[in-house]
Amino acid sequence: MPRVLITDNLSAAGLNCLKSAGLELDVRSGLKPLEVREALKTADGIIIRSGTTLTEELLKDQSRLKVIVRAGVGVDNIDLAAATREGIVVMNTPAGNTTSTAEHTIAMLLALSRNIAPAAASMKSGKWDRKSFTGTQLAGKTLAVVGLGRIGLSVAKRAIGLEMKVVGYDPFLSAEKAAEQGIEVVRNVDDLIGRCDFLTVHTPLTDETRGLINAERMARMRKGARIINCARGGIVDEGDLATAIESGHIAGAAMDVFIQEPPGDNRLVKLPQVLTTPHLGASTDEAQELVALEAAEIISGFLLRNEVRHAVNMAPLSAAEMADMKAYLDIGRRLGLLLAQQNKAGGVRSAHLLYRGEAATKNTRLITSSFAAGLLETALAEHVNIVNAELLAKERGIRITESSSSEVGDFSTMIRATIETDAGELTAAGTIFGKQFLRLVRLGPFGLDAYLDGHLLIYRHRDVPGLIGFIGTVLGKHRVNIAHMALGREHNEPGGDAVAVLNLDNEPSAEALAEVRSHPEVTGVELVKLPRAGDPLPWLVGG
Ligand code: NAD
Ligand code: MLT
């Protein structure tokens, strides 16, 4: 039974959903980083919120861990590169807390404009002060929204409802789509910076967005403008914001998120013009229930049915698609394993996969990843799978490309893999007969029809009479049974170069191979070991 570690608070509904799916739970909040590392050793998956940070150090060599699910949107508390490198799928629950976070942003906007928090604090201290807290009306004011994704758009819609004018910037939103929502979009942040009374950010925290709203941009904002950050700490530079407020240029700010959480002794938090909440954007009963249920569903789908939903480092795949893809992933991996073992001479520089016929209609990126996993898995000490194989190849300077053609050649479906090595090119092509019979139909220049499983004895030779009898006698003498034999001739005529692929029931000894090699017409002998027919893919649940 797959085991799931949960290190942050998850709603009871989410926990029940995990239990009834049949997963074993290990619920432990408040763990220190080294304790998380220990706990991960016995977990197949982990669900976290923003309270757990999964660093490279914690993720390294976690051979059992297959999936990380972030119950929420932001995955900036997960070292994505390290997770990908270790072959761990990372998923999030992107939509569950959109509405709650947009509502929190609007609450901040209203509270900021009407000084709600300081006025309430003043009354609690026994005062009745109607002069100090005069506010500013929102209707007719301009709100700048930086980042018009799920939350940004939802905030814009609500602000328009408050009769604000909304101007926005998002590199991935077209002016037409924005106009449909009543939003004017500009070409970059600088185009909106001097035009707003309020500015709110709703981007992820990336190298590009870190410090996006900084001293220089704040200086160009209207005097008396206000800033809101309910996205991620650091998008608005905290030190620069404190200085701009102290100088009186920026009138106030509302912050739900901080570079460091909790923020500790932070000058910005202490300023009376700054309204703060402790990362509460998604903290509603409704949002927590939605993200917990979604997290439970996507982790069960992955660990029990190989479903990939909302992955941030892998293409999505439903359980039905995965079942449909299994034979293709298998043949991709086998072609990779075959070429890796055939390559005796040199470093692999690049690989190219050509998909023809039905294969071209499948999720070829994933088949290419499976090929890359096969190509590398016998060579690398680390755990290689479809999540990390292409990255590991890239790190080794191997360029992997693919092309597709809907044209059907000799086979209704075919995958041809070519690797370019320091010593030249190697090519192999495979097809699938029926739903699951995997066949090798090309090896270098030779067309043939061999099984793509078990022990393959491949020998190159000149196509002369008596050779097949000789090989059969040698193998028989060494008690090796031949299950299937395929012959490929370069020009399909006797006397020329040919290759034979013998599928053997057991592995021939070194002496047997030496005897095969000793025949004067044999020019090369290799033994390639592939998984047996029907063997599970090592990185799929139930193969
Ligand atoms: P989203 O992916 O739907 O939207 C993000 C948008 O930002 C995208 O449209 C993207 O194109 C845009 N973007 C990226 N880089 C940009 C740039 N340099 N300039 C302008 N736009 C850029 O994400 P979302 O669900 O809307 O979440 C937005 C943010 O809110 C995330 O940082 C998320 O972590 C955070 N969040 C916070 C809370 C909270 O509790 N405070 C809750 C949920 C989400
Ligand atoms: C998120 O990214 O979803 C938010 O930060 C909410 C959270 O996890 O608390």
Highest mean pLDDT out of 115-119, 174-178, 185-189, 303-307: 115-119
Q: Is residue 316 part of a domain?
A: no
pLDDT confidence of residue 317 = 86
How far apart CA 99 and CA 84 sit, in angstroms, is 30
How far apart CA 238 and CA 234 sit, in angstroms, is 7
Q: Are residues 244 and 296 in the same domain?
A: no
Q: Is residue 536 part of a domain?
A: no
pLDDT confidence of residue 32 = 96
Q: How far, rounded to the nearest angstrom, does the alpha carbon of residue 518 sit from its chain's CA centroid?
A: 50
Residue ranges of E strands in 320-422: 348-357, 399-405, 413-421
By CB neighbour count within 10 A (0-12 exposed, 13-18 middle, 19+ buried), where does 441 fall?
Answer: buried
Q: How far, rounded to the nearest angstrom, does the alpha carbon of residue 391 sit from its chain's CA centroid?
A: 11
pLDDT confidence of residue 380 = 79
Q: Are residues 67 and 104 in the same domain?
A: no
Q: Are residues 390 and 259 in the same domain?
A: no
Q: Are residues 393 and 433 in the same domain?
A: yes
Q: How far, rounded to the nearest angstrom, does the alpha carbon of residue 425 sit from its chain's CA centroid?
A: 31
Q: Give percent of the chain above pLDDT 90.
A: 82
pLDDT confidence of residue 538 = 85
Q: Is residue 428 part of a domain?
A: yes
pLDDT confidence of residue 510 = 95
Q: Is residue 454 part of a domain?
A: yes
Q: Are residues 33 and 113 in the same domain?
A: no
Query: 10 Å Cβ neighbour count for 241?
Result: 23
pLDDT confidence of residue 508 = 95
Q: Which of 70, 158, 202, 232 is catalytic?
A: 232
Q: Is residue 188 part of a domain?
A: yes
Q: Is residue 313 part of a domain?
A: no
Q: Are residues 127 and 81 in the same domain?
A: no
pLDDT confidence of residue 172 = 79
Give the tens place of pLDDT for each residue, 194-232: 999 999 999 999 888 999 999 999 999 999 999 999 999
User: Best substitution site from 10, 154, 279, 294 to test ligand 2's pocket, by max atoms within 8 Å of Cβ?
Assistant: 279
User: How many domains does the chain divide into?
Assistant: 3
Mean pLDDT along residues 343-358:
89
Q: How far apart are the first and last CA of the chain?
A: 15
Q: Is residue 539 part of a domain?
A: no
pLDDT confidence of residue 463 = 87
Residue of 256, 243, 252 lying closest to 273 (CA atoms): 252
**Amino acid in the structure at residue 537:** L
Judge contact between 405 and 315, C-beta under 8 A. Answer: no
Judge contact between 305 and 3, C-beta under 8 A. Answer: no
Judge contact between 186 and 192, C-beta under 8 A. Answer: yes
Q: For the chain, what is the mean pLDDT?
A: 94
Strand order in the sheet with 348-357: 399-405, 348-357, 413-421, 424-433, 437-443, 446-451
93 lines ligand 2 (CB under 6 A): no
Give the tens place of pLDDT for each residue, 308-346: 999 998 888 888 888 889 999 999 999 999 999 998 776
Residue nearest to atom 3 of ligand 2 (CA): 72
User: Best substitution site from 6, 68, 97 to test ligand 2's pocket, by max atoms within 8 Å of Cβ?
Assistant: 97
The residues that bridge with 442 in the sheet, in sequence order, are 429, 447
Mean pLDDT along residues 392-397:
87
Query: 10 Å Cβ neighbour count for 428?
Result: 22
49 lines ligand 2 (CB under 6 A): yes
Pocket of ligand 1 (CB under 6 A): 73-74, 94, 97-98, 101, 146-152, 169-172, 202-205, 208-209, 230-232, 256-257, 279, 281-282
Residue nearest to atom 33 of ligand 1 (CA): 74
Residue 261 is among the residues annotated as catalytic for this protein: yes
Q: Which domain holds residue 176?
A: 98-276
Q: Are residues 32 and 66 in the same domain?
A: yes
Q: Is residue 314 part of a domain?
A: no
Q: Are residues 7 and 108 in the same domain?
A: no
Residue 35 is among the residues annotated as catalytic for this protein: no
How far apart CA 270 and CA 59 sit, in angstroms, is 36
Strand order in the sheet with 482-489: 482-489, 497-504, 455-462, 522-529
Q: Flag whether pLDDT at 240 surpasses 70.
A: yes
Give the tens place of pLDDT for each residue, 489-535: 877 777 789 999 999 999 999 999 999 999 999 999 999 999 999 99
pLDDT confidence of residue 492 = 72
Query: 10 Å Cβ neighbour count for 238?
Result: 22
Residue of 450, 481, 467 lying closest to 515 (CA atoms): 467
Cα of 209 from ligand 1 centre, angstroms: 10
Q: Are residues 293 and 189 in the same domain?
A: no
Cα of 403 from ligand 2 centre, angstroms: 39
pLDDT confidence of residue 495 = 74
SS3 category, 422: coil
Mean pLDDT along residues 450-469:
93
What are the residues whose beta carbons fall under 8 Å from the beta carbon of 373, sequence distance 6 or more?
333, 336, 384, 385, 386, 389, 539
Q: Flag whether pLDDT at 29 surpasses 70.
A: yes
Q: Are residues 366 and 488 in the same domain?
A: yes
Q: How far, rounded to the nearest angstrom, does the alpha carbon of residue 187 sit from its chain's CA centroid?
A: 29
Q: Are residues 117 and 255 in the same domain?
A: yes
Q: Are residues 84 and 105 in the same domain?
A: no
pLDDT confidence of residue 543 = 61
Instruction: Indicate which CATH number applies to the domain containing 206.
Output: 3.40.50.720
**Amino acid in the structure at residue 448:** L
Give the tens place of pLDDT for each residue, 66-97: 999 999 999 999 999 999 999 999 999 988 99
What DSSP line would sit under 108-165, residue for residue? HHHHHHTTHHHHHHHHHTT---SSTT-----TT-EEEEE--SHHHHHHHHHHHHTT-E
Q: Give percent of the chain above pLDDT 70.
A: 99
Mean pLDDT along residues 167-176:
87
